Structure 1
Amino acid sequence: MVPMKHTADRQGRHVARAFCAALAAALCLTAVAPATAEAVTVNKATAKPNEDGGSGVIGGIDTRLTWEATVDEGESVDAVTLTLPQDGSFDGSTSRVTVLEGLKRKDVQADAKVDGTSLTLDFSEPVGAGDLLRVEVTNMRFPPEGGDVQVTGTATVDGQETDLAPSPVIAVIANTPLQALVNWLDEQPWVAAWNSNQFLGMFFKPQLLVTSFASLFPGWLVCLAIVVVAYPFAILLGLLFAFMKMAKHRVVRAVAVTYINILRGTPLFLQIYIMFFGLPMIGVNIDNNVLGVIVMAVNSSAYLAEIFRAGIESIPKGQYEAAESLGMNARQTMVSVILPQTVRRVLPTVTSDFITGYKDTSLLSSVGVMELMMFSKNLTTVTGNITPYIAAAIYYLIVTLPLIRIVSKVEQHLARSESGQGPRPKGPAKAEGIEGRDAETVDPDPAAEAVAEESRKAFGAARLKPRPAVPATARARMGAAPREEAQDA
């Protein structure tokens, strides 16, 4: 009896364990199973990108919604209602329904009814079990505030409505003031007429120009950061190699000449490729932006070295002699006398070289540095339009045109100073007839005026008085040619 009792207990425990395992498995399947409605399983919901020049879905702008679901076994659907979150809209939209039975398309028509955020589709015949139902809604709008949007709704099965499971999340971008401006441009007749011209629409599309400025701005900041950080290092290196090239030691001069000639004699594009692809091959990995700064600084330093050397050698030797006569040594002479004059002379050329370096940062886009040209190239590839390149050109001109103007002004000022036409200290105005007096501020002295008048009369009388005639023999001795008495007088 006892063994039989133990056997029954063991069997009971096995049954209990099996029941628990089955219950756990059922719970797990329930947790991982896709969300389904009573008669329809929602498969997906997607939206066509409507961002001008991008791949995002922006709220408040017409787009196309594609919603798919599968009818469960043993069910048939007579109608479907799709619902958007608040502030979404189906107003003005058009819909198309596709029903697939396996790979075969079924001819099912649908009567669409729009009511703000809801779209109801009544099918001409029920959609049967296992059929794939696809609904495409054109010119619908998601909520302008954006966010993670899910499409909900109901399905009508045998006259009864059942809730649909929420669709997968659709990421919607909030409608910004920039996008509102683009929407306003889309509605303008003159913009449509402008874009109808093939050249203008391809190179100067207004809507894309507006969005390009916003999209390219981060790349422009990177471009400015690279050149602003690189140029101080380039100036220091340039001064160093300029002094090395003017050094008395032949070896030091040879090093400087080699450095300058190699960098000036090879293209910057080649130097970028050597640095960006050569260093990783020997195990040196540097951040792209940092490496871009290094390449630009090294390349510019070679040109600046020649600029500084020419500027220093243009200072007259008398400046060195004058400094030496004042008891200055070579270092003091260079720092206090020569370099200040050199800076004035090379400033226009250095500024021009800075402009060139700023433009040359565009070459870094070839090695993946996310600067201005890289952003514009990516945007042009996405849009198939040249307008992003025009926006990039405007960003370059924002910096280069003012600098070019400044260089022109500085050169004119230096040219006037060199020719002695610079500004002079303003002295007091001279009174007429009295040198050194201000006619407006000095009161006339009657006594002085009388003396001056007598002096002028005496001077005039002396000039009018005839001189005595000089004998011809005397004039001949003095080497003067015979002249008439009137002429001699």
Structure 2
Amino acid sequence: MIAEQLQLILQSAWAALPTLLRAAPITLGYALAAMLLGLPLALLVALARLSGIAFLRWLSGVYVSFIRGTPLLVQIFVVYYGLPSFGVTLSPLVGGVLALTLNAAAYLSETMRAAILSVPRGQWEAALSLGLTRRQTLRLVVLPQAARVALPSLGNTLIGLVKDTSLVSVITVVELLRSAQLVIARTFEPFGPYLAAALIYWVLSSLLELVQRRLETRLARQG
């Protein structure tokens, strides 16, 4: 009996695999889009939190606190179902990417802020004494060093985004998890498709972790 059940699960997982593999690039695309769009926003938020302007520090602090203090699922609902109340209607694709971007930017901003603060103050003073402006010092001296410090956390955030994309399935985005649910709706066998989806998430995360480690090793050799 158990052997037959296991065989049924493996068969359903194998049957669902082609559909899920077609959805995997969508999942990865969502994560990469949120990461690439979130990085510039995160840098602006991090600089605002380090700014000498009290209002900017307060505003950026509220943003980070709100995003970090509320569930991503609620944020997705606010963006997709809440914004139409103000006349802003987004497609599931845009709404999902926007919610993930805003969420990622809040976490990335803290990573960047800590990385910038980790650069010794003497680096700023030396660059300024050579005639560089504060903006040039930030761009040419501080940020390259901060990027090395932030790389592990940036990689972890991207891996987390790959898993978080499963939440956009609630707004009908046909990514990996939603594809598994659609397969289950046809076959009425949930374990196999969910197991196959979990394995694909695991493989994607493992590959990204491998890339992250190789980048860290290369940067360590260059340093």
TM-score, length basis structure 2: 0.91
Q: Does the 8 Å contact 1:235/1:301 carry over to 2?
A: yes
Query: How many Å separate the matches in 2 of 1:364 and 1:232?
Result: 18
Separation (CA, whole Å) in 2 of partners of 1:401 and 1:408 = 11
SS in 2 for 1:370: coil
Q: Which runs of 5+ in 1 are unaligned?
A: 1-194, 425-489
Find the aligned partners of 1:340 and 1:241 in 2 and give their Cα distance. 18
1:109-166 CA deviation, whole Å, 9 max, x = no partner? xxxxxxxxxxxxxxxxxxxxxxxxxxxxxxxxxxxxxxxxxxxxxxxxxxxxxxxxxx
Q: Pick one of 204, 208, 214 that aligns with 1:399.
A: 204
The separation in 2 between residues aligned to 1:409 and 1:216, in whole angstroms, is 28
Please give the alpha-carbon distance, in whole angstroms, between the structure 1 residues aligned to 2:49 and 2:148. 21
Counterpart code for 2:152: P
What residue number does 1:200 align with?
Answer: 6
Q: Tell me the distance in 2 between the aligned counterparts of 1:423 and 1:343.
A: 14
Task: Choose from 56, 59, 64 the match for 1:260.
Answer: 64
Distance 1:412 1:202, change over 3 A: same
User: 2: CA distance between counterparts of 1:231 and 1:319?
Assistant: 28
Deviations along 1:83-107, one digit per CA (max 9) or x if unpaired, are: xxxxxxxxxxxxxxxxxxxxxxxxx
- Match of 1:238? 42
Whether the aligned pair in 1 keeps the contact of 2:48 and 2:60 (CA below 8 Å) is: yes
**For the residues of structure 2 that align with 1:305 and 1:196, how far apart are their CA atoms?**
50
2: distance between equivalents of 1:241 and 1:309?
9
Q: How far did 1:378 drift?
A: 1.7
Deviation, 1:347, is 0.8
Q: Please say which structure displays the higher CA radius of gyration.
A: 1
CA shift in 2, pair 1:217/1:423, >3 Å: closer
Distance 1:404 1:223 in 2: 16
TM-fit CA distance, 1:409: 4.5
**Structure 2 Cα separation of the partners of residues 267 and 201 of structure 1:** 38
Determine if contact 2:24/2:175 at 8 Å carries over to the other structure.
yes
1:342 to 127, 137, 146: 146
- Aligned counterparts, 1:106-125, within 5 A: none
Partner amino acid, structure 2, of 1:404:
E
2:117 matched residue in structure 1: 313
Aligned to 2:55: 251
Shift of 1:276: 1.8
Which structure carries more helix by proportion?
Answer: 2
1:94 maps to what in 2? none
CA distance in 1, matches of 2:95, 2:27: 13
Letter in structure 2 aligned against 1:295: A
| Cα gap change, 1:199 to 1:314, in 2 (>3 Å) | farther
Output the amino acid matched with 1:305: S
User: How far apart are the structure 2 equivalents of 1:411 and 1:219?
Assistant: 29
% of aligned pairs identical? 33
- 1:253-289 deviation line (CA, Å, top 9, x unaligned): 1011011110011110111111222123343221111
Q: Which deviates the most, 328-337 or 394-403?
A: 394-403
Q: How far apart are residue 316 of structure 1 and its match?
A: 0.6
- Bigger shift: residues 301-310 or 375-384: 375-384
Superimposed CA distance per residue, residues 224-281 of structure 1 (whole angstroms, 9 cap, x where no aligned partner): 2222222211001000000000000101110110111100111101111112221233
Give yes or no for the alignment of 1:221 onto 2:25.
yes
Superposed, which structure 2 residues align to 1:98-177 within 5 Å?
A: none
Q: Is the 8 A contact 2:116 2:146 kept in 1?
A: yes
Residue matched to 1:390: 195
C-alpha displacement at 1:413, in angstroms?
Answer: 6.3
Structure 1 stretches of 4+ moved >4 Å: 409-414
- Structure 1 letter corresponding to 2:202: L
Shift in Å at residue 321 of structure 1? 1.6
Quick check: 1:358 aligned with 2:162?
A: yes
> 1:392 deviation in Å?
1.0
Aligned position for 2:92: 288
Measure, in 1, the Cα distance between the counterparts of 2:206 and 2:26.
Answer: 19
Q: Which residue of 2 aligns with 1:274?
A: 78
The alpha-carbon deviation at position 319 of structure 1 amounts to: 0.8
SS at match of 1:296: helix
Structure 2 counterpart of 1:394, one-letter code: L
Map 1:83-102 onto structure 2 (within 5 A): none
Hey, what's the Cα distance between the residues in 2 that align with 1:280 and 1:262?
A: 21
- AA aligned to 2:135 is R
How many pairs are equivalent?
A: 222
Partner Cα distance (1:343, 1:372) in 2? 31
RMSD over aligned Cα atoms: 2.1
TM-score for both structures, normalised by structure 1: 0.43
Letter in 2 for 1:274: V
Matched AA of 2:66: I
